[in-house]
Amino acid sequence: MIRKIIHIDMDAFFAAVEQRDNPKLRGLPVIVGGNPKSRGVVATCSYEARKYGIHSAMASSRAYNLCPKAIFVRPRMEAYKAVSVQIRDIFQNYSDFVEPLSLDEAFLDVTMNKMQLKSATDTAIEIKNKILSETGLTASAGVSYNKFIAKVASDMQKPDGLTVVPPKAGERFIETLPINKFFGVGKVTEKKMLRLGIKTGADLKLKTKEFLIREFGKAGAYYFDVARGIDDRHVNPNRIRKSIGRETTLQTDISDKNTIMEILSKIAEQVSSILKRNHKKGVTVTLKIRYSDFKTVTRSRSLAERTDDSGTIMKHVKELLETTDADSKKVRLLGITLSNFSRETPVIMTQLKFPFY
Ligand SMILES: [Mg+2]
């Protein structure tokens, strides 16, 4: 059976909410995020700001240099969450299979036509109209037969876009797709793909599965499939939280190991208390470091037993830290994440701890 999947993504979400709530900001380059003097980053910026080359995750100071007249606004998470509740209520009217990816984005499986509309496209149009009339904000939609294509399609004609890719057009759509538009291909992978001569979906399709797995590990099999328009992942309404982590941008760049360890200890304690509050224990500890030159690295390790203990987390974080350049390069961001909450592996592993005598 052919599925009908819609991906809905609000346009320049945080910035659009700010412009909606403060008419003086309309038509202007608005940056929601940290103050350029306090080493923050851009969370979202308005389309007017994007014309200057500003984008999410850029240092606010750099954004300021690109556009000194930009207006910096502190995030108001409560306002964004309120809109998020509104749009999720709208989604529920059209499908019982809604998978939010973040506050402003979700997949809907509308194969079962809850509102008896003519088509998935009509459904997407109606959802967009409802969002606009109830929140005063625009959203873009991608409509297709799987999650991968729907997600990529929603980004094709922003803002206020609607892109429909029916099954017949799927493979052609992917062939012409630049590799950096692939959902799941980040900056690092993009570089590697380009180095391997893969610029578009068509180039990707020429590679064998064995080659892609050798180069990209497990993700290689995924790339092989999506290059052919194959993505069987379900829209999962009860997606479980896959990781718990915290990170912090430092007041000033530092290279002093003791200070770094102190900050990491505080982060480990925060992560530990969130884990305990959620009754979760993780197997994999990940340390994230962003150097002063913005290069970001992660180091991970899987433990023999699941843990939520800050001391245990720190013991491993300390060893992971040794494998980074944190002693020679200055650091601007530190983070710790625990993931892999599944039960199976650790149970087997604990058995190994049974005494021999
Ligand atoms: Mg968005």
How many residues are present in the chain? 357
Residue-wise pLDDT for 310-319, tens only, equals: 999 999 999 9
As a whole number of angstroms, the distance between CA 52 and CA 67 comes to: 6
> Over pLDDT 70: what percentage of the chain?
94
Two tokens, residue 48 = 């007017």
Distance 306 CA to ligand 1 centre (A): 34
Burial class (CB in 10 A: 0-12, 13-18, 19+), 321: buried
Range of the domain at 179: 170-226
Q: Is the pLDDT of residue 82 over 80?
A: yes
Q: Is there a single domain that holds both residue 154 and residue 187?
A: no
Ligand 1 centre from 211 Cα, in Å?
34
Whether 106 and 206 share a structural domain = no
**Mean pLDDT (whole number) for 30-48:** 92
pLDDT digits (tens, 9 = 90+) for 101-121: 889 999 999 998 888 888 999
* Distance from the alpha carbon of residue 352 to the mean position of ligand 1, in angstroms: 46
Q: Is the pLDDT of residue 348 over 50?
A: no
pLDDT recorded at residue 19: 98
Question: Is 356 within a domain?
Answer: no
Q: Are 269 and 207 members of one domain?
A: no
Pair (161, 176) in one structural domain:
no
Number of structural domains, the chain? Answer: 3
The verdict on 21 and 69 lying in the same domain is yes
Instruction: Clarify whether residues 147 and 195 are in a common domain.
Output: no
Q: Are strands 105-109 and 243-254 parallel, antiparallel or unpaired?
A: unpaired
For residue 123, how far is its CA from the centre of ligand 1 (angstroms)? Answer: 19
Pair 193, 127 in one domain: no
The pLDDT tens digits of the residues spanning 121-158 come to 999 999 999 999 999 999 999 999 999 999 999 999 99
Among 142, 165, 188, the domain-final residue is: 165
Is residue 354 one of the residues assigned to a domain? no
Instruction: Note whether residue 238 is domain-resident.
Output: no
Asked whether residue 252 falls in the same domain as residue 182, the answer is: no
Per-residue pLDDT of 166-176, as tens digits, reads 999 999 999 99
Q: Which helix (H) or strand (E) holds 92?
A: helix 77-94
Give the pLDDT of residue 275.
87
* Average pLDDT score, the chain: 91
Residue 93 lies in a domain: yes
**What local confidence, expressed as pLDDT, does residue 184 receive?**
84
At 322 the three-state DSSP class reads helix
Residues with a known catalytic role: 105
Contact predicate 142/155, CB 8 Å: yes
3-state secondary structure (DSSP) of residue 283: strand
Residue 105 Cα to ligand 1 middle (Å): 6
Whether 355 has a pLDDT exceeding 50, the answer reads no
The reply to whether 42 falls in a domain is: yes
CA atoms of 113 and 97, how far apart (whole Å): 11
For the CA atoms of 2, 101, 140, 124, what is the dihedral angle to 10 degrees? 40
For residue 106, report the distance from its CA to the centre of ligand 1, in Å. Answer: 10
| 141 closest CA partner among 22, 298, 33, 131 | 131
